[in-house]
A and B are shown apart, each in its own frame.
Chain A
Amino acid sequence: MDMDMDVDVPLPEELELLEESYIIHDQEFEHLDLEPSEPYPYEDEEEEPTQAKSPAADDSSPSPGTLIHCHKRSRSLDGSDAPVPDSSRPSDEKRSRIADDEEEEEWLRYSPSKVIDPVMKEPAVDDKEETLLWRFASDIDGDFIPVTAPSGGDRVYAKMSIEEMNERREKLSLRTQSGGLIEEPINVLLQRVEQEAFTKALQASSGDQNDLVLSETPVVHEKLWVDKYAPNSFTELLSDEQTNREVLLWLKQWDSCVFGSEIRSTSNEVLSALRRHLSVGQHQKFSNSNFLWKNRGPGWNKENFRLSNDFEKKSTDFDQINSNSKVIQDLWNKKSRSTGPPEQKILLLCGPPGLGKTTLAHVAARHCGYRVVEINASDDRSASTIEAKILDVVQMNSVTSDSRPKCLVIDEIDGALGDGKGAVEVILKMVSDDKKSDTGKENAAKEENPQKISAKKGRKSKPLSRPVICICNDLYAPVLRPLRQVARVHVFAQPTVSRIVSRLKYICNKEAMKTSSIALAALADYTECDIRSCLNTLQFLHKKKENLNMLDVSSQVIGRKDMSKSVFDVWKGLTGKVVRSGDYELIMDGVHENILQLPYHDPVMQKTVKCLNCLGISDLLHQYTLRRQQMHLLAYQPALAITVHRSVAQVQRPNIEWPKSYLRYRTMLTEKMDTLRSWYYTIPPYISRHLSIKSFVEEAVSLLLHILSPPTLRPVALNLLSENEKNDLDQLVSKMITYSITYKNVKLNPLSSDRSNEASDTLGLAFDPPIADFVNFKGYRSGHYVLALAMKQVLVHEVEKQRILQVSTARFGHLIDGCNKENEALSGKETGRLQPDKASHAGPCAKSIEKTSRHSNPSMPPTSCKPESSTASLKLKPSGGTRRSSGLSSFFDRFRKLSKDSQNTDTVVRKEETSERDLRPLLFKFNEGFTNAVKRPVRVREFLL
């Protein structure tokens, strides 16, 4: 008891003053101590009155102002003589431990007479606190606690007297020795305390007490067994030991962060102590130093009871662990020495319902000294509310009622849909914020002592400083995908049937219900080890005064949970045993996907035919069901699956794949349809109206590809072509324009390039609406001739030129007739769209017609294209002094032209320029680089050739 050494011995006059006011303190604390109805109050009852009686006699009315003072200091009295009775206590403790419920109740029943109404008392305490408050923290030498006024926001500091702390320690030391396990869960006790207080308040007003107290008992009696026999200590948990310990370990890793730095050293001590089966005294120190600064409210000693109990349980628990496995402990030691909160700040527990996830979370959190705040599906889980709630949990510390640090348990997080997704988002945000500011702040926090941390808590915007436990059923719910990555995940395994059975047996014995182990085992098996379901069933039967027998279980008299099996299980099951599930369409898809891969024996394919017939029927049924909304027909779907099962079932486990191909087919189909459709709209209507998508794919596309890449066209420069070839080229260009097809740059992957002639070049030109893809079946070599790259480039160029030409002719309302007659409709359309703004040159016009070609961005003025057209349109054009001319095309285009088919560009340019030169003396403005922002020296000579 090294802490006892630094107890301040109060001065004699102080003592005197204290003794004066002791009576009030006594009354107050009697009441407070009695409330929790735990073993300790008996001692208080026996011990304190003897000390307090005489001072109470000589000073009857202490001034209200000094009350708090007394209250605080008075503990020193208690503390100073505490060690003496300490040794003599154990016998008392033992007695009190045996004390059962009835005794407690009895005692509670007559206690109210002595107790002052707590509701009346509390405001008084508030008022009196003033005397011990300072405006500035520096005025106080020693520990203090900040208090913020709820209304004005004023902040004051209250001194914490060391005496009080010591005194508390003493009390705890007494108590922890007692070490009685609480018979009932904490929350039940708390509830009872509340009820008690309520009753007392009622009694105070009405004076009638017996009725109310009596009315309580049946309520307790009618509790669900699930609640009644819920495990309230760590050792009672039914779930897997390993998981339990992992969870506890994770929670303990928060200690250094939540309870401050001091604890870290002690927790190590505690651990070593645990290992060596040391005396309980060390725990007291742990718990005391732990909660000194927090336990201020009237409920403070109640807290300590619980904690000390918890710690005892832990010690027993650890003894067990000790005997069981050293591994966990080593892990523990290693982890607990590491600094700060654990790596993963979220704990995600998942598993099927009824295995005790929520219970584990609650028990473990309580065990580690947290107050559990639960948010479940019934709460509002939109982002804003949840954020407020989490911040509240994480950053605030309640002063009045229950001042343990809080631990947030978010239950049923996978059910969070819609607004509920907010919860996951908020948590993720906090975690990510945390990661950023992690190391620095963490270290700083460690240096400070616990009080400082508490003082800072309100102001700090540190995102996540309290453990958060999330509970879900389906780990792979889409909502949880991001959370899975940051959280520590624990999957609950089913507890063994024998474990469940033994527990059920125990409960049945308690409830005096006759059962057989076999029936219980069957029940457990049937419910897939869902304890809740088992207990509910048992209680139900018990109420009906029936006994559980095997027949009941197997004949499904007992309600079965509405479970959903994973589709993988169903598919696997189809090849093994038949199971039930809901999503028939998906199941049938899966069957379809996998059935041909199964190694069943089928010489003349009869089984395959049968299975595929079943699939076909299922499809028809599904279609009909959905179309006619005859949902009852769905009942016949499983029968089909069973037929499939009969055909292909076998012993060995197959390799099941998720049905992807149908979905892939759907997406690709829509994608291709979209390409076609968007292309369709760019074709002038007088052509497109005759061509539906179906007929295009069916009849046109292959031939169109042939037509668009004629093998007779020699890949040479334009000026080398014969008259006939030129004519052919012109026609080809006009075809490409009317079908608004062009080439564009694509990266050829080496696989597909084997069917093209230009395999050497990785960067190729392909048709712009990718119509070639429509004949590009997998594993099929089409006999399409593909033009050489140079030829394609020529075509791209020509197509651009023609387009602009068309636009310009349309703009000036002059149709160059002959072959251009067909452009009428197109140009008519274009004129409607184009503004008669002459300043805006061909650039925007070109853009408006061809969305398809990104390849080159020509900004040629309309006059500069063909000799014949230029003459025609020049007459119309106002002969302005400066005009843009020359074939500007894109930067890259130019270089390619220069390198590969420079002749071609030359000829084009030459043609234009000769026509221009003939018309007028030199009037030339070269705007090269104007639009492309790239400059290159060009000689005028080059244009005048």
Chain B
Amino acid sequence: MLWVDKYRPKTLDQVLVHQDVAQNLKKLVTEQDCPHLLFYGPSGSGKKTLIMALLRQIFGSSAEKVKVENKTWKVDAGSRTIDLELTTLSSTNHVELNPSDAGFQDRYIVQEIIKEMAKNRPIDTKGKKGFKVLVLNEVDKLSREAQHSLRRTMEKYSAYCRLILCCNSSSKVSEAIRSRCLNVRINAPTEEQIVKVLEFIAKKERLQIPSGFAARIAEKSSRSLRRAILSFETCRVQQYPFTSNQIIPPMDWEEYIFEIASDIMKEQSPKRLYQVRHKLYELLVNCIPPEIILKRLLFELLKKLDAELKHEVCHWAAYYEHRMRLGQKAIFHLEAFVAKFMSIYKAFLIAAFG
């Protein structure tokens, strides 16, 4: 078992990073006044961990006994019926699902399936009417229609159903939904917090860490706790008695983008752009989201760039990322950014060196 999973806090009390948030959540539960919740924050900050801990707080250990169900739903949509396949994780009291898996048909999931689930009211052991929790992941990837459909469901069944929404960016969640939820912002952990967690793990694993080593890992992790712990374990596996200058293994895709960036810096021509295109395709094929590629590429380019140009390049990166999100074919926009950069850089070189 990886340390990431092994040292994941199970209860709200065990939480190390977002202790304030955890205590507030605990208060909510104990006061029996839990509204709909919207957790948002970057990946690796601990949203899911908090949600699971919260569920455990509400339902006790029964929340941990989950089963995976892969069910096909038949949804009657006007003239035709649509078959939707959906995987859910469910315990007696809660259901986790990822409605955006259905792609453009997510609307039907929200309209039919979630509604159906929300309607069924569980009865707890004492014969009291209990309430159930729906955990919806990646709400920001839901289409606009689906989000609209969600609003009414949230209101109508609020008496006995709570929705916990989880997403990376709240800006893509519609205003209406946000206003119906208690928004919980989960920050990316600070480097100090990460160091604290790493030291905690080291203590549990009875490892000696040289001073500054944990800080290095935290620095390299770009404030993602998951990544920090994984890196830590990797270091442990590769070389145990840690030395403070031990290499922390980089992410491969980042290395690859580094290569692309140096390619771009070396030569600016359509031919080089063509080569870059193939490399970008390589990254895209391996499921790396184009936004992240663009961001990382900008980061790598900025490192090598003259201060004069940084502002302009950032501007264009934002411009093309905006287009990328509006459009469909990410490669067009990525490539357009690279071309734009090449053009700017080449003009700069010509101006500077004649």
Contacts and interface: CB of A to CB of B under 8 A. Distances in A.
B33 interface: no
B255 interface: yes
B282 to A, nearest CB: 5
A694 B252 contact: no
B190 to A, nearest CB: 18
Contacts of A620: 323, 326-327
Interface string B250-271: 1111011001000000001111
Nearest to A608: B339
Interface string A858-870: 0000000000000
Interface in A745-787: 773-775, 777-780, 782-785
Contacts of A735: 1-2
A707 B331 contact: no
A704 interface: yes
A738 B138 contact: no
Given A620-B327, A662-B331, A699-B227, A775 B249 contact: no
Contact of A699 (B226, B281, B343): B226
Q: Which secondary structure characterizes the binding site on chain B? A: helix
A788 to B, nearest CB: 16
B121 interface: no
Contacts of B332: 592, 612, 615-616, 619
A735 to B, nearest CB: 6
A616 B336 contact: yes
Interface residues of A, number: 75
Contacts of A612: 332, 335-336, 339-340
B350 interface: yes
B233 A703 contact: yes
A171 B339 CA distance: 84
Contacts of B8: 690
A689 B89 CA distance: 8
A832 interface: yes
B68 A616 contact: no
A129 B320 CA distance: 89
Contacts of B333: 616, 619
B323 A686 contact: no
Q: How large is the interface on B (under 10, 10 to 19, 20 to 34, 35 or more residues)?
A: 35 or more
A712 B237 CA distance: 7
Contacts of B286: 672, 697, 773-775, 777
B44 interface: yes
B167 to A, nearest CB: 11
Interface in A663-714: 665, 668-669, 672-673, 676, 681, 685-687, 689-690, 692-695, 697-704, 706-707, 710-712
A605 B343 contact: yes
Interface in A817-833: 822, 825, 828-829, 832
B237 A605 contact: no
B329 A619 contact: yes
Contact of B252 (A597, A690, A780): A780
B77 interface: no
B175 interface: no
A848 to B, nearest CB: 13
Contact of B6 (A606, A624, A822): A822
A708 to B, nearest CB: 9
Contacts of A685: 66-68, 89
Contact of B1 (A605, A668, A738): A738
Given A619-B332, A738-B1, A774-B287, A700 B230 contact: yes
A622 interface: yes
Interface string B59-85: 000001111101000000000000000
A661 B286 CA distance: 14
Contacts of B2: 704, 707, 735, 738-739
B284 interface: yes
B339 A690 contact: no
Contact of B343 (A609, A687, A700, A739): A609
Given A702-B251, A710-B238, A681 B87 contact: yes
Interface string A724-754: 0000100100110011000000000000000
Interface centre among B64, B224, B251, B283 (most CB of A within 10 A): B251
Interface stretch (B151-159, B179-187, B272-280, B303-311): B272-280
Contacts of A784: 252
B347 interface: yes
Nearest to A595: B270
Contact of B283 (A603, A604, A704, A777): A777
Nearest to B51: A689
A668 B250 contact: no
B20 interface: no
B270 A605 contact: yes
Contacts of A603: 346
Contact of A703 (B43, B230, B255): B230
B314 to A, nearest CB: 17
Nearest to A613: B336
Contacts of A711: 238
Contact of A829 (B52, B68, B138, B335): B68
Contacts of A782: 252, 255
Interface string B239-255: 11000000001111101
Please name the 3 residue pairs, one residue from A and one from B, whose CB atoms are nearest each other, closest first: A775-B252, A703-B230, A612-B336
19 contacts: A596-B270, A605-B269, A605-B270, A605-B273, A606-B343, A612-B340, A613-B336, A616-B323, A665-B281, A672-B285, A690-B48, A695-B44, A698-B288, A698-B289, A712-B240, A731-B1, A738-B2, A777-B279, A829-B67
Given A694-B287, A738-B2, 18 more contacts: A608-B273, A612-B336, A620-B327, A624-B326, A669-B285, A685-B68, A687-B5, A689-B89, A692-B138, A695-B44, A698-B253, A699-B44, A700-B227, A702-B252, A704-B230, A707-B233, A712-B239, A822-B6
Interface of A: 592, 595-598, 600, 602-606, 608-609, 612-613, 615-616, 619-620, 622-624, 661-662, 665, 668-669, 672-673, 676, 681, 685-687, 689-690, 692-695, 697-704, 706-707, 710-712, 728, 731, 734-735, 738-739, 773-775, 777-780, 782-785, 822, 825, 828-829, 832
